[in-house]
Structure 1
């Protein structure tokens, strides 16, 4: 009987011991699981600095070490991805063209701010994830991109908008890595080339105008030379008249070439020699050159310098050219007994140069175009007074090179007022 009781006691003792050990192990496991839960929650909130602080051995210890290593590698990988993403965004933002990447279905993967402006999207709006059909508000651009979407070749087109803006749209296919026939999307480059097109048109017009302007006097010279050569018995008066015409056309040709060379020199900033130029002294040189023209037309040619010490840092010939072009034009296009006045002063930060006349004036519809190369309000009259059509274009370029501006007020048959504003401190 005693042996049976001892067995029961021993069994009970073992059971209690196992129960206590199991309970203790369960509590430990539960504590470890709670640790895993807390740490995993922090990791899901991107707190990759957190770690499991469990001093366990065996398989649980190995699991702990592996989990901590996984957190560390995950943090490093995400940090690297975020850094690369930041680099990519910075690169995209710095690109002056509109760049967007789309997948094969037309969903936007990446887009920069310039592209958002072009497609008329809100800069603060998240466009990534949207389809181009809903994101792109410009119908012409959407139609052009949709036409090339999924193409396996590089496509390029030029698009002119209703407001005159010109874009080039280039679509490049994106292939699945290590493949040459599986397209996963497209990179779209939209470039605003409006100014480039304008310059191309201006260059083309300039060449055409130069050709025309050179051809006219050359044709005239050639014609009269041929006439003189074939008619040796021309009377002296007729011969002299023809020679005078040839001389006049030659002078006109020389003036035209000189003006073209001057324009080229103004645009070539590298060859520019800068010095301190006194405006009063420079104007007096021009006044001496033009006084006889004004006197012959009985024009009251006056000037008013509010400060004779005013100067600019520039090329002396350029400043002289501003005075010469504006003043000579005023005298040429002012009828006899008229008035031309030059006023130079300062408002503190700017030098203000005005040339005022009571001449024939400029029609309202021509005022916006008078600074264009070879543009003439009255072509016949301009040629009669010896104009090349480049004077005001040259003046505008010079003023622009001085960081200044030129404005004109004019009324037909009442006169014109040209105002040049140049910053005082010019480097």
Structure 2
């Protein structure tokens, strides 16, 4: 039986440090503590093998939390990092992209603390079980003189489904749980290709991609994690390739863990976010309109100071409306509704309206728009809401990241069998290191120039998902200090 993971809690706030330690000790976890990044690195250097989960404050002085995460990443450490911060905002998103598992707000309730910690402990347990199973099964794949009956009994006692393949992606072992999941009788599936036997494209893809990555020279035991639906149950899948002593891939091992209950909770959480977003949208829009009336002097004279404060309130309200819209779009996409209703669309008309909306909302920046829309373009079969989201997000980003008095060029034309949208700005540009991540969910570019620019980090993620759903493509070119160009191509023939 696996022992409980060993914890390291790092925070310069003694009250938070003690609270976390007491909660963990109360459930029997072994806990070490540090009050600085330097102290944490010393413990990790001395007791690396005795730390499994790191509960790390993102508000450490000195070297800071990110230096610790980077060290763990460079050394390919298996330690799981649970970040802590006051609001789990931009710093948390940056930490998660760097390798942290999740983030806990420091204002946590005890129930919320254990909800988060139980997840990271579960991830640790699954990963360690998988490592043990890989080692046990490796000897069988290499045809060692191992007691097959003993191994089979051990594997069948595991509550998770287990599937092992050889290097030809043929099944060499599955336990009783996996047999139940896929309706396999006895040993009838042994030696058969996974595509014929499992009949689940997502799972087959997980196994194939993991082995291909290993064959192409990636690190030993490349792991792919995802979720698939099997027999009405949502299963979390961890797939690892297995390498022999000569470094060649000789097979894979996959573990399937039932997370249906968690999926149900995520659904409830998503429904709540959607409901709250809908409820906020109308009053926020009304508030924005009322602020505009006051600022335009239609409700009477206001002082310069009042105008300044109301102007800030208006900008904050706009950001809240944009966030609500992004959350609603995200919810729709995650429900598989990136394309809801297909109809013939006049993209020129939609683009004109999108530009008009964005021009009104950005009049303070005095952006010069250069718009070229070819007339009499063929209609595109698509989802109006999704296409509008693509146009508005790309134009909004061009405006946000372009200085006052800058220029935004928008072009829509037919290119071969596609309709092609080009949005070009002469703004601050994007670093090469960020270009690979700008379509990730919640990813935000963090520089001195972007600190004051609001956003949820969802806009380009939504754009990419909608474009993909229309079987289109999106590309980006950028140069720091000179600007950025996005090109979206949408096929006229589906």
Larger of the two Rg values belongs to structure: 1
Structure ranking higher in helix proportion: 1
